[in-house]
Amino acid sequence: MSTNPKTFLTPEQYLEIERKAEFRSEYYQGEMFAMAGADRDHNLIAGNTFYQLRHQLRQGPCEVYQTDMRVKVNATGLYTYPDVVVACSPQFLDEQEHTLLNPTLIVEVLSPSTEAYDRGLKFKLYRSIESFQDYLLVASESIDVELHTRQPDGRWILTSADRLGDVLDLPSIGCRAIVGRSLRKSRIWRTGTRFPAPGSPMGRQAGDVRLRPHGKVVMRGRPCRPTRRLS
């Protein structure tokens, strides 16, 4: 049994190491935790979700970032890297703008090795962020998407979706997420599942999804804007 005491790092030490590191690590309670690399489906789903939101947020005060944007949870000291994060009128830790302080919406793509953490402790820590309003969890091995939305009284309401044509409203940023758009080209998509045909009940539900030849999909609609003023 090792008798060597643990070496705890200050946040400043962590950030200094992280800026020079070749791989990303989380930081919590004085320790660094290396983040596992993402597989093909994880990257596809995160990228598709980012593209959906970026397309809708091309105007207005909100910005969307992918995996290299670090988020600090001030109340708990956690530093982490969500798969996708949206901030409206973003605020940063310092002038380098590498560490976001006020996420509005966070997206995590679930994998077997991280699902329990993303659903449990990580979500608990995220909830202490005052600006945090919507938490979107996208499964990578099934059609299963969950949206947790903060209510004015502090409660969180769960909305789930399990069909490609399902549409989830993201009230804090005034956008929508179409399940099938996030899963495009993933294993679920490659094994034969496709969008519903235009005019079918699911196709009408998706609303702004249109199929084109050669598998191209076009989203139609107006740029989205936050539905309420965010601090």
pLDDT digits (tens, 9 = 90+) for 110-130: 998 899 999 999 999 999 999
Residue 217 has pLDDT above 60, yes or no: no
Q: Are residues 97 and 8 in the same domain?
A: no
Q: Are residues 200 and 94 in the same domain?
A: yes
Name the band, by pLDDT with cuts 50, 70 and 90, for residue 7: confident
Q: Are residues 141 and 197 in the same domain?
A: yes
Using DSSP's 3-state secondary structure scheme, residue 153 falls into: coil
Measured CA to CA, the distance from residue 151 to residue 148 in angstroms comes to 10
| Average pLDDT for the chain | 85
Residue 75 has pLDDT above 50, yes or no: yes
167: left (phi over 0), alpha (psi -120 to 50) or beta: beta
Measured CA to CA, the distance from residue 225 to residue 104 in angstroms comes to 13
Helix and strand numbers (H, E) in the chain are: 7, 15
Residue 99 has pLDDT above 50, yes or no: yes
Q: Are residues 14 and 118 in the same domain?
A: no
What pLDDT score does 36 carry? Answer: 81
Q: Are residues 128 and 159 in the same domain?
A: yes
Name the band, by pLDDT with cuts 50, 70 and 90, for residue 225: low
What pLDDT score does 6 carry? Answer: 73
Q: Are residues 17 and 44 in the same domain?
A: no
What pLDDT score does 192 carry? Answer: 57
In a domain, 227, yes or no: no
* 33-50 pLDDT, tens digit each: 999 878 999 999 999 999
In a domain, 28, yes or no: yes
Evaluated on CA atoms 36, 41, 66, 183, the torsion sign reads negative
Q: Are residues 70 and 124 in the same domain?
A: yes
> When comparing pLDDT for 208 and 133, which is higher?
133
Q: Are residues 109 and 200 in the same domain?
A: yes
Contact 180, 211 (CB under 8 A): no
Q: What pTM was computed for the model?
A: 0.82
Q: Are residues 78 and 5 in the same domain?
A: no
What pLDDT score does 52 carry? Answer: 96
Residue numbers of the domain that contains 146: 39-219
Q: How are strands ordered across the β-sheet holding 78-80? A: 31-34, 25-28, 78-80, 70-73, 99-100
